[in-house]
Amino acid sequence: MEMGNLKHLREHGPVPTSDLPHEIRAPQRAEGLAVFKLKSGDGRTQSFGGPFRIAYLFDDHEPVEVVRVLFETESHLFDLDRRGLVKLFRGHGRQWSAAASTVLSEESPLDTDRNSGGWDTGETQVCPFCGDDVLKGALPSHLRTCPET
């Protein structure tokens, strides 16, 4: 007889650990049950503002499926800085940051009115040395060639 959690995951796909019918045990982990827990901090030891624990089957579920369930469960994550989130996922491995990028792109396409630094396209700031108008986010590049530096 198949263990309840494994059967549940095969039938329903990745789910928050709180949705599993039973507590996770070592034999289930040996059968491929894994838990993705979004963590932050040095050594990824701190929980990132909540439990964020998604159970999945290592051999059956792709990271993008797991991340999609995480974002569906914790929809407030969509309100956070996109780059910061992808970086946070990168700490768990390249496949997880790629999955996060995919899910974020599906749910909130990049704002084409903003540049890669998040500034409005065309928004400028004044160079503190020469007084020229410089695109926001481009000041470091400008300073390399600024005649007053």
In DSSP notation, 98-122 reads HHHHHHHHHHS---TTB-TTSPBTT
| Residue 35 sits in the same domain as residue 52 | yes
Residue 75's pLDDT is 84
Rounded to two decimals, the pTM is 0.67
| Residue 98 sits in the same domain as residue 148 | no
| Residue 56 sits in the same domain as residue 129 | no
Residue 12's pLDDT is 96
| Residue 91 sits in the same domain as residue 119 | no
| Residue 132 sits in the same domain as residue 102 | no
Number of domains in the chain: 2
Provide the residue range defining the domain that includes 122. Answer: 115-149
pLDDT in tens, the chain (149 residues): 356 999 999 999 999 999 999 999 999 999 999 999 987 655 545 455 556 799 999 999 999 999 999 999 988 888 787 888 888 888 888 999 999 999 988 876 555 555 555 556 678 889 989 999 988 878 888 888 998 88
d(CA 149, CA 133): 15
| Residue 100 sits in the same domain as residue 133 | no
CB 83 within 8 A of CB 114: no
Task: Look at the block and give the residue holding tokens 């990824």.
Answer: 44
| Residue 54 sits in the same domain as residue 101 | yes
